[in-house]
Amino acid sequence: MASFTALTWFLILVPMPLVAMVVAWEFLGQVCSRQRSSLDKKK
């Protein structure tokens, strides 16, 4: 069954999605900290 080599799959599937996950994680972190601070203010 023809396919990319293992290393090619690794290069396609790892570095760029890894960066995507990092930015998504940071963004979620910012959203959560904003919500927490707005909840703290309400208290």
Partner 1 sequence: MHIDIITTFVICFMIIFGIGIVASRVTRNLSDYMLGGRRLGGAIAAMGVGASDMSGWLLLGLPGAFYAHGINQIFMPIGLVLGAYLNWQFVAARLRVYTEQVKDALTIPAYLDNRFHDGSGTLRIVTALVVMSFFTIYAAAGFVGGAILFQSTFGLSYHTALFIGAVALVSYTCIGGFLAVSWVDFFQGTLMFIALIVVPSVAIWHVGSWQQTMTILAGISSKYTDALTDFDWVTVIGLLAWGLGYFGQPHILVRFMATKSKAEIPKARFICMLWMIVALYGAMFTGLVGVAYFRNSPLANPEEDFLQFAHVLFNPWVTGILLAAVLSAIMSTIAAQLLASASAVTEDFYRRFLRPHKASARELLMVSRIAVFIIACVAFAFAYNPKNNVLKLVSYGWGGLGASFGPVILFSLYWPRINKAGAVAGIVLGAVTAITWWALHGLGGIFHLYLLVPGFIVSCLSIVVVSLLTMPPSAAIRREFNEVNDILQH
Residue 32 found at the interface with partner 1 (CB under 8 A): no
CA atoms of 9 and 2, how far apart (whole Å) = 13
Least Å from the CB of residue 16 to partner 1: 5
Q: Which is nearer to partner 1, 25 or 40 (CB)?
A: 25
Residue 26 found at the interface with partner 1 (CB under 8 A): yes
CA atoms of 39 and 22, how far apart (whole Å) = 26
Residue reference for tokens 């703290």: 40
Q: What is the binding site for partner 1 (CB under 8 A)?
A: 1-5, 7-8, 11-12, 15-17, 19-20, 22-24, 26-27, 30
